[in-house]
């Protein structure tokens, strides 16, 4: 942990030099998950030429190494001033207002770079408690490191297996609950199947269940990369009670529509190396 903390004190401009090297290794030497990325892009963007998809793949490698190495390490010690300069949060007040009225609110987003910075950015900008549901990493050291990073500005992290207990307090302790809603659920869990980027995919519907069961408003977070190391994250309301007239899967379907739009606007920001469409 001490080594990563020391590394984190380096300016991002220096950390990007290391990221540049890792990018070259990932792209040219290892061809990191190239077949998975190419297959995902081919299905998602059949209208694009092979050269256009190659450009997306290569820029993905750049965003991937920047986000997972330079930017994530920097967030361990980043100052409030620098984070505010690098990460803009738009419409934070509209989701805060729901919580200040005494009702928890759900925020659903996808794996669009840099979602880790979004956890810190929201925690820094909100006037209420922000809780993020996460999947525990298999490696204890890196799991602890990521918890240190993600709670740098006071955000609350709840492991997925513990979230059922946490749900009990959502009425008595209103807060923002952040869900990464595009993860692939295992076959052992209840899941919803629908088209996503031109292929059938499965989705968790925990967010939909909570919203309709507890009458909670739902927001989507759109990520935009402005330039290297600078992002904008914008909240928009996608659903609100009463849900009596809503069809089944309505919230998940709207989440998928907005996430697809976010991805198509900047396709190199999505996590294409993930085997998202594996059945």
pLDDT at 260: 97
Beta strand pairing call for 218-227 and 230-239: antiparallel
Sorted by sequence, the CB contacts under 8 Å of residue 145 that are 6+ apart come out as 1, 4, 76
Alpha helices in 161-222 (DSSP H): 163-167, 206-214
Residue 200 has pLDDT above 90, yes or no: yes
Q: What is the pTM of this model?
A: 0.94
Lowest mean pLDDT among 2-6, 64-68, 175-179, 226-230: 2-6
78: buried, middle or exposed (CB in 10 Å: 19+, 13-18, 0-12)? Answer: buried
Residue 277 has pLDDT above 90, yes or no: no
Tens digits of residue pLDDT in 81-123:
999 999 999 999 999 999 999 999 999 999 999 999 999 999 9
Convert 108-173 into a string of H (helix), E (strand) and C (coil).
EECCECCHHHHHHHHHHHCCCCEEEEECCCCCHHHHHHHHHHHCCCCCEEEEHHHHHHHHCCCCCC
Q: What is the mean pLDDT of residues 263-276?
A: 96
Helix (H, G, I), strand (E, B) or coil at 93: helix
pLDDT at 188: 79
Average pLDDT, the chain: 95
Q: What is the mean pLDDT of residues 239-268?
A: 96
Residue 279: pLDDT band by 50, 70, 90 thresholds?
low
Sorted by sequence, the CB contacts under 8 Å of residue 175 that are 6+ apart come out as 99, 104, 128, 129, 130, 131, 156
Assign residue 154 a region: left if phi > 0, alpha if psi is -120 to 50, beta otherwise? Answer: left
Sorted by sequence, the CB contacts under 8 Å of residue 29 that are 6+ apart come out as none
pLDDT at 161: 87
Residue 156's φ and ψ, nearest 5 degrees, are: -100, 130
CA angle 47, 48, 54 (to 5 degrees): 150
Tens digits of residue pLDDT in 149-197:
999 999 999 998 898 888 889 889 999 999 999 988 888 788 999 999 9
Tens digits of residue pLDDT in 23-47:
999 999 999 999 999 999 999 999 9
Sorted by sequence, the CB contacts under 8 Å of residue 265 that are 6+ apart come out as 224
pLDDT at 187: 81
């Amino acid at each position: 942990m001490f080594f990563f903390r020391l590394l984190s004190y380096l300016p991002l401009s220096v950390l990007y030099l290391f990221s540049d090297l890792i990018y070259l290794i990932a792209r040219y030497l290892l061809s990191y998950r190239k077949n998975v990325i190419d297959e995902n892009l081919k299905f998602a963007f059949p209208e694009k030429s092979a050269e256009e998809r190659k450009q997306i793949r290569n820029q993905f490698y750049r965003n991937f190494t920047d986000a997972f190495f330079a930017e994530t390490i920097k967030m361990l010690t980043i100052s409030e001033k620098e984070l505010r300069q690098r990460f803009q949060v738009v419409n934070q007040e509209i989701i805060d207002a729901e919580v200040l009225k005494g009702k928890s609110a759900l925020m659903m987003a996808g794996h669009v770079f840099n979602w880790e910075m979004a956890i810190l950015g929201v925690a820094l900008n909100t006037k209420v408690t922000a809780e993020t549901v996460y999947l525990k990493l298999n490696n204890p050291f890196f799991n602890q490191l990521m918890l240190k990073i993600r709670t740098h500005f006071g955000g609350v992290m709840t492991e997925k297996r513990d979230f059922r207990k946490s749900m009990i307090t959502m009425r008595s302790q209103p807060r923002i609950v952040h869900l990464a809603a595009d993860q692939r659920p295992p076959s052992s869990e209840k899941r919803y199947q629908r088209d996503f980027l031109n292929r059938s995919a499965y989705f968790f519907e925990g967010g939909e269940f909570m919203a309709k069961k507890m009458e909670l408003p739902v927001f989507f977070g759109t990520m935009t990369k402005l330039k290297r190391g600078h992002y904008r994250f914008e909240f928009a309301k996608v659903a609100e009670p009463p849900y009596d007239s809503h069809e089944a899967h309505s919230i998940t379907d709207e989440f998928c529509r907005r996430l697809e739009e976010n991805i198509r606007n900047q396709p190199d920001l999505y996590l294409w190396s993930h085997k998202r469409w594996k059945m």
